[in-house]
């Protein structure tokens, strides 16, 4: 299978996301001004500071040409994974509900956290163990939604790093094909850096794609 | 036309920046300060001011978590 990893000006985790995806399949970079998704089976919107996070995190990136194609891809059922800034972009784009606000402690948080996988019946978590050790690194990760949402990942009790509502770390859309999370699975794929749990998310996607009818 | 758009966190949504400023002021000796909120100001020249609201809804503010106020001047 082939992953497409989107690169905006200001994206900084694209290379790690590509390297992580390449542990389970092919992965190529998709440029933000390019509308061609190059036939990828799944899209990864990686972390960073797209367009300098001007105005609000993700607010400008969602108008990039590539996001038109990603929106069509998502509406056709294609798998889309948004990590950190990618999660913020998906919320701004309306592909996921809610918003990500500045951390309640106003600090940049950077630490390994334990996550509880609240829903293992998704294309993104089917190969995950019940808990994951994955790092977070963000300043705007406080999830908020006035409506109930489909929670996939929660920070373990006492580990909420940002004041997120109901300890939410990751959510999925109602159709079950767009997943956003604040922690960084692409930074947890090598034992050298403390955990390989992030790999199980990429493996889940590979397994889900193998079973799916290709998206046009 | 010159316009100003004031954007602030919606009531009821935790505003840690406002809280931090509210705590900092007494530390500098300013007393009697309450209900501090920190938002953004966008200033712009527009030919058609009827578009301002749509601009706010679609880009300048996130209506889910922010209120906005449009102030037009001559």
A18, pLDDT greater than 90: yes
Domain positions in chain B are 2-73
Interface mutation target, options A102, A105, A142, A147, chain B, most CBs of B under 10 Å: A102
Residue B41 token pair = 């100001």
Residues A28-62 pLDDT 10s: 999 999 999 999 999 999 999 999 999 999 999 99
**Mean pLDDT confidence for A172-183:** 98
Q: Which domains does chain A have, with CATH numbers?
A: 2-211 (3.40.50.880)
Answer yes or no: do B17 and A98 touch at CB < 8 A.
no
Q: Are A68 and A37 in contact (CB under 8 A)?
A: no
Is residue A164 predicted with pLDDT exceeding 50? yes
| pLDDT at residue A216 in the model | 45
B contacts of A141 (beta carbons < 8 Å): none
Tell me the three state secondary structure of residue B62. coil
* Minimal C-alpha gap between A216 and chain B (Å): 29
Contact across the interface for B65 and A99, Cβ inside 8 Å = yes
- Inter-chain CB proximity A101 and B20 less than 8 Å: no
| Nearest one of A47, A40, A61 to A17, comparing CA atoms | A47
Q: Is the dihedral of CA A12, A15, A20, A22 positive or negative?
A: positive
Using a CB-CB distance cutoff of 8 angstroms, which residues of chain B are in contact with residue A99?
62, 64-65
* Predicted pLDDT at A47: 97
Residue A215 has pLDDT above 60, yes or no: no
Exposure string over A34-70, b if 16+ CB within 10 A, otherwise e: eeebeebbbbbbbbbbbbebebbbbbbbbebebbebb
Residues of A in contact with B65 (CB under 8 A): 99, 101, 144
Closest CA to A28 of A170, A80, A19: A19
As annotated, the active-site residues of A are: 84, 184, 186
**CA proximity to B73, closest of B8, B6, B20:** B6
Spans of chain B, pLDDT less than 70: 74
Question: Which residues of chain B make contact with A98, given a CB cutoff of 8 A?
Answer: 64
User: CB-based contact (8 Å) between A140 and chain B?
Assistant: no
pLDDT above 90 (res A88) = yes
- Does the distance separating the beta carbons of B62 and A106 come in below 8 Å? no
Q: How confident is the model at residue A139 (pLDDT cuts 50, 70, 90)?
A: very high
Look-up: residue for tokens 């800034």? Answer: A85
Predicted local distance difference test score (pLDDT) of residue B73: 82
Residue B65 to residue A142, Cβ atoms within 8 A? no
Is residue A183 within 8 A of residue A115, CB to CB? The reply is yes
Identify the residue whose tokens are 């969602």: A62
**Closest Cα in chain B to A61:** B59
Six-digit token string for B5 = 């758009």
Among A105-109, A211-215, B40-44, the range scoring the smallest mean pLDDT is A211-215
| CB-CB neighbors (< 8 A) of B40 in chain A | 55
CATH 3.30.1280.10 corresponds to the domain B2-73: yes
Q: Which residue of A has its CA nearest to B62?
A: A92
Give the up-direction half-sphere exposure of residue A215: CA atoms within 13 A in the CB hemisphere: 24
Query: What are the b/e assignments for B12-45, b being 16+ CB within 10 Å?
Result: ebebbebeeebeeeeeeeeeeeeeeeebeebeee
| Segment A146-159, tens digit of pLDDT | 999 999 999 999 99
pLDDT of residue B74: 65
- CB contact under 8 Å between A104 and B17, yes or no, is no
**How far apart, in Å, are the Cα atoms of A85 and each of A71, B26, B31?**
16, 35, 39
8 Å CB contact between A68 and A35: yes
Nearest-CA neighbor of A63 among A89, A84, A43, A87?
A: A89
């Amino acid at each position: 299978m082939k992953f497409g990893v989107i690169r905006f000006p200001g994206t900084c985790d694209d290379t790690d996301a590509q390297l992580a995806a390449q542990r389970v399949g092919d992965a190529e970079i998709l440029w933000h001004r390019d509308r061609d998704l190059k036939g990828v089976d799944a899209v990864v919107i990686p972390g960073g500071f797209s367009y300098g996070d001007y105005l609000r995190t993700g607010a400008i990136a969602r108008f990039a040409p590539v996001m038109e194609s990603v929106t069509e891809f998502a509406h056709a059922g294609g798998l889309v994974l948004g990590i950190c800034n990618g999660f913020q972009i998906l919320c701004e784009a309306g592909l996921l509900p809610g918003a990500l606000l500045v951390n309640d402690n106003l600090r940049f948080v950077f630490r390994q956290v334990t996550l509880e996988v609240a829903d293992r019946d998704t294309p993104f978590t089917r190969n995950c163990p019940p808990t994951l050790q994955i790092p977070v690194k963000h300043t705007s990760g406080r999830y908020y939604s006035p409506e109930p949402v489909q929670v996939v990942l929660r920070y373990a009790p006492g580990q909420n790093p940002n004041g997120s509502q109901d300890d939410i770390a990751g959510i999925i859309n109602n159709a079950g094909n767009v997943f956003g999370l604040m922690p960084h699975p692409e930074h947890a794929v090598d034992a050298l850096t403390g955990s390989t749990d992030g790999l199980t998310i990429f493996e889940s996607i590979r397994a889900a794609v193998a079973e799916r009818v290709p998206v046009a | 036309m010159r316009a100003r758009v004031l954007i602030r966190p919606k009531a009821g949504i935790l505003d840690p920046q406002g809280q931090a400023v509210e705590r900092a002021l007494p530390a500098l000796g300013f007393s009697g300060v309450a209900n501090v909120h920190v938002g953004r100001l966008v200033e712009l020249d527009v030919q058609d001011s009827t578009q301002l609201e749509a601009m706010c809804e679609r880009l300048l503010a996130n209506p889910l978590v922010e209120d906005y106020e449009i102030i037009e001047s001559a």
